[in-house]
């Protein structure tokens, strides 16, 4: 396919994909949400007669969930406390086996 595209056509398709990514639902959702967010920011700034604060405009990826790597920690199990609690429970409610 690359042999069939001219450099200008390739630039066009890359720009189109950046604007409306095909097949990537999170990027599509991000693009739509950012467009709506920015339209509201512009509208309210205009309605208030204030200049648009560009810091309030959204950036690419603002509406895409970010996966965080969570380091697992080890759990110290107190077997004696568990046995004591089990014994207390059996004394209170009986032992069913």
Domain count, the chain: 1
Environment class of 37 (CB within 10 Å of its CB; exposed 0-12, middle 13-18, buried 19+):
middle
Residue 49 in 3-state DSSP? Answer: coil
Assess contact for 58 and 37: CB atoms under 8 A. yes
In a domain, 80, yes or no: yes
Structure tokens at 34: 């950012």
In a domain, 2, yes or no: no
Query: How distant, in Å, are the alpha carbons of 49, 82, 84, 85 from that of 79?
Result: 67, 5, 9, 10
Which domain does 57 fall in, by range? 7-93
In a domain, 25, yes or no: yes
Q: Which residues of the chain fall short of a pLDDT of 50?
A: none
Reported as a single tens digit per residue, the pLDDT across 24-45 is: 788 888 989 999 999 999 999 9
In a domain, 1, yes or no: no
In a domain, 64, yes or no: yes
pLDDT at 3: 67
What distance lies between CA 20 and its chain's CA centroid?
Answer: 18
């Amino acid at each position: 396919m690359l042999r069939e595209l001219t450099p200008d056509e390739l630039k066009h398709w890359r720009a189109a994909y950046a604007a409306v990514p095909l097949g990537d639902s999170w990027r599509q959702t991000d693009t739509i949400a950012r467009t709506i967010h920015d339209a509201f920011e512009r509208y309210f700034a205009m309605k208030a007669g204030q200049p648009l604060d560009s810091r309030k405009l959204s950036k690419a990826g603002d509406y895409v969930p970010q996966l965080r790597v969570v380091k697992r920690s080890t759990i110290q199990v107190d077997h004696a406390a568990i046995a004591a609690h089990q014994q207390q429970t059996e004394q209170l409610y009986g032992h069913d086996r």
